[in-house]
Chain A
Amino acid sequence: MKRKYTLIFLLLQVIVSAFIAIEKPSFYIPQNWPKPVYNFKRNPINTDVVTLGRVLFYDPLLSKDNSISCASCHSNYNAFTHVDHKLSHGIGDSIGTRNSPALMNLAWSSTFMWDGAINHLDMQALAPITHPGEMGESFTNVAEKLKKSKLYPTLFKTAFQDSIISGERTLKALSQFMLTLISANSKYDSVMNKQALFTEQENNGYRLFKKSCASCHQEPLFTSYAFKNNGLSVDPDLNDYGRMRITKLSKDSLKFKVPTLRNLTYSFPYMHDGRFKKLSEVMNHYVSGVQKSKTLSSELAEPIHLNDNEKVDIIAFLLTLSDKQFVFNPQFAFPKEILLKAAND
């Protein structure tokens, strides 16, 4: 009898362990998606490194006054952006010059930031950490603070088999967490995988989208990752000329990276400076607000003709790109079991 209970207990343990293993975040390539561009050979995914990256992502220790974390401007509930804020915020209530981008499907992107200033995901976090208007901390000091903390030597040891804390490891851990932020469970994805159907309105919106928008917002990632001038006027206060700041080439004037359209429901306001609060404003811009200039995207050279019903249908389709599972995934949320416990110790 005792043996029987032991067997049942062991069986249950195996099932629970398997369930936990499945639940752990990890990287995967969704069905029919292209090959990622991130080089995993230099940073192979390991769940303990992902956990370390997740804790770092949510820890305000990375900022100068320990007040702001990566998640402050990239909240999981908002598809990892700062909802309802036109421009990014920083320490001491400082305001940045661009809308914080939503973070998802980053393994498929070869450049980062609206102007492509960052050439590799591993190096991305350095920019906000050291920017005086964002987290304002020196990266050398971040490493020192991590070394002095009670929490991190253990987490680094679990992740890397020794407790050496280096800049390289810190950045690679942050990358690993961000690489796991895959959004591929929207209604659109279910329809593509033949597990759901669009409504008539969504279907019409999809048809119009493919005709008018998909050359830049290419499926399944809904971006081409190209830099385009989409005809926005220059904000006289921000004077932001986009990619030209990086390349110093006039042909790149007013060009910004084409953003993904996934999870638009959660990630307003829109555009590099967050000037549009609603998707209807975005639609109106493309139909009647495009400003002509030398570098205007060739896709917008001819006006896009859409009547009011068609605009609404496209928006109905765009809303099918919302991925609740992604936004409310507890594996991506604040790691209270680690950070709160550390704060209370």
Chain B
Amino acid sequence: MKKCLAGLILIFSFVTNIRGQNSNICLLKVTPVFGSTNLTLGKQYFFHNQKDSVAFEMVKYYISGIQLLLNSEIVWKDTSGFYLLDAENEKSYSIPLKIPENLIFNEINFLSGIDSTTNVSGAFGGDLDPTNGMYWTWQNGYINGKFEGKSNLCKSMDSSFELHLGGYQFPYNALQSVQLKLTSKKIIEVHLELEHFINNIDIAEKHHIMSPSNEAVLMSKAFSNSFKIAQ
């Protein structure tokens, strides 16, 4: 009898848990796009009236500190932490947010990178594990975003660019905040508009950024300004 009761309680709590989770999930989906199409790594994209082209070989970046707001007031904060979004793994684009049922909000904020406290707190696992290749080893700190590929615009020897954007210390703190007004609340669909990013950096001259610097900060601003609500 006792065993039966325990079994029933277990099944009940399992069902409640499942139902609870389903009803409280809001999906944040952040997709890298070029123009009107989702990004495909290695594909050549033409722009500037077909005069210029770019092909990305790597688009990999962190977002963290997700918050939902209602009329500029924070109504929910993500406690799970840090997400590594990688164009090689489409599954990484979707971030389930466990929010209270019936939460009303009309804005989302997040950071495009990793905060300074985490940067000085030693080794972490999961998306922050240094084996993910997003940690500078010769001088410490997370790389907030890696963008690599080729473009005819680059004045490098093989037209390549490698933009490793990061830095957590003054005066080269590259961490940026993103604020977006929302229309839908079931699924928050955000695009990382890479054409906007390329058009707002000096990729012709600054094609290789591998350490914290003023250029890295400027590019990080262009990167964070390239997040837009999907239309």
Question: Which residues of A does B touch, CB under 8 Å?
Answer: 39, 42-43, 117-123, 126-127, 129-131, 138-140, 142-143, 166-169, 171-172, 175, 246-248
Taking CB atoms, residues of chain A closer than 8 Å to B139 are 117-118, 246
Taking CB atoms, residues of chain A closer than 8 Å to B133 are 138-140
Give the docked Cα–Cα distance between A123 and B128 (Å): 12
* Given A126-B137, A129-B137, A131-B138: A120 in contact with B122 (beta carbons within 8 A): yes
Is B96 positioned at the interface, with any CB of A under 8 Å from its CB?
no
Taking CB atoms, residues of chain B closer than 8 Å to A166 are 125, 129, 131
Taking CB atoms, residues of chain A closer than 8 Å to B122 are 39, 42-43, 120-123, 171-172, 175
Contact (Cβ within 8 A) B130 A117: no
- Our pick among B119, B128, B138, B172 for the contact of A119 (Cβ within 8 Å) is B119
What are 5 sample pairs from A and B whose C-beta atoms fall under 8 A apart?
A117-B138, A117-B139, A139-B137, A167-B132, A172-B122
* Given A119-B120, A166-B131: A131 in contact with B125 (beta carbons within 8 A): no
Contact (Cβ within 8 A) B123 A168: yes
Give the docked Cα–Cα distance between A230 and B160 (Å): 42
Taking CB atoms, residues of chain A closer than 8 Å to B137 are 123, 126-127, 129-131, 139
Taking CB atoms, residues of chain A closer than 8 Å to B76 are none
Contact (Cβ within 8 A) A168 B125: yes
Contact (Cβ within 8 A) A168 B138: no
- Our pick among B120, B125, B132, B169 for the contact of A120 (Cβ within 8 Å) is B120
- Chain B residues 36 to 59 lying within 8 A of chain A, measured CB to CB, are none
Taking CB atoms, residues of chain A closer than 8 Å to B131 are 139-140, 142-143, 166-167
Contact (Cβ within 8 A) B140 A167: no
Question: Which residues of B does A touch, CB under 8 Å?
Answer: 119-125, 128-133, 135, 137-141, 169, 172, 213
Give the docked Cα–Cα distance between A118 and B140 (Å): 5
Give the docked Cα–Cα distance between A261 and B118 (Å): 32
Secondary structure class of chain B's binding surface, majority of residues: loop
Give the docked Cα–Cα distance between A53 and B207 (Å): 40
Contact (Cβ within 8 A) B121 A167: no
Query: Would you list the 10 A-B pairs with minimal beta carbon distance, nearest first?
Result: A122-B122, A167-B131, A168-B125, A122-B123, A171-B123, A126-B137, A130-B137, A117-B139, A167-B129, A119-B140
Taking CB atoms, residues of chain A closer than 8 Å to B213 are 248
- In the complex, the chain A residue whose C-beta lies closest to that of B172 is A248
Chain B min CB distance to A61 (Å): 15
Taking CB atoms, residues of chain B closer than 8 Å to A39 are 121-122
Contact (Cβ within 8 A) A123 B138: no
Taking CB atoms, residues of chain A closer than 8 Å to B138 are 117, 127, 130-131
Contact (Cβ within 8 A) A139 B119: no
* Given A117-B139, A119-B140, A126-B137: A171 in contact with B130 (beta carbons within 8 A): yes
- Our pick among A43, A123, A169 for the contact of B140 (Cβ within 8 Å) is A123
Taking CB atoms, residues of chain A closer than 8 Å to B119 are 119
Give the docked Cα–Cα distance between A83 and B139 (Å): 25
Contact (Cβ within 8 A) A120 B130: no
- In the complex, the chain A residue whose C-beta lies closest to that of B140 is A119
- In the complex, the chain A residue whose C-beta lies closest to that of B131 is A167
Taking CB atoms, residues of chain A closer than 8 Å to B129 are 166-168
Taking CB atoms, residues of chain A closer than 8 Å to B141 are 119
- In the complex, the chain B residue whose C-beta lies closest to that of A249 is B171
Contact (Cβ within 8 A) B124 A120: no
Chain A min CB distance to B82 (Å): 13
> Which interface residue of B121, B124, B140 has the most chain A CB atoms within 10 A?
B140
